[in-house]
Amino acid sequence: MAAGDATIREKDKLMPILPTFDDVTAAAARLAGHVHRTPVLTSRTMNDETGAHVFFKCENFQRMGAFKFRGGFNALSRFDDRQRKAGVVTFSSGNHAQAIALSARLLGIPATIIMPHDAPASKMAATRGYGGNVVVYDRYTEDREAIGRKLAEGTPDTVKANPEVIRAYLGQDHNMRPHL
């Protein structure tokens, strides 16, 4: 397994590698000063309804409105100089797109986001507003992964951020690996 891989192959299955305490503290250090400290709130009504103490981590107050900013910034901040220069290519119709676009802008990394033509206009506008180069595709007739590979051709250091495969590497429920 190459350094930075967030999955291992076990009997023809990709299994996530859980982050260690050191991974979490390193991610916290990379995120310091870049993310908002979001509140944890409770609700007596919810507690009464569920018979439990329920806590809500209000990541809607995070930069770009979602927890995915934490993972996107953490992952892109780990890029080496060559990868930063080459940029990142990913696909998403929403929050992952915005997280990568904003994180890339803050870190000076070119970001191309492949979005389906029927993604909400507000999500496309926000992704562009955060500095992402949006490439639109038809999800019914085109293959977003093939588009991503074609966009990354000729730039071997470009990193392909696949939102379905990103896990421990990002510090959220996603993975990122170098474009192969």
List 92, 93, 103, 123, catalytic entry: 93
C-alpha dihedral (121, 127, 133, 137), degrees to nearest 10 = -40
Q: Which residues contact 123 (CB under 8 A, 6 or more apart)?
A: 93, 94, 95, 97, 98, 115
List 13, 43, 57, 68, catalytic entry: 68
Q: Which residues contact 129 (CB under 8 A, 6 or more apart)?
A: none
Let me know if 92 is a catalytic residue. Answer: no
Beta bridge partners of 13: 10
Let me know if 68 is a catalytic residue. Answer: yes
The rounded distance, in Å, linking the Cα atoms of 121 and 118 is 8
Active-site annotation, residues:
68, 93
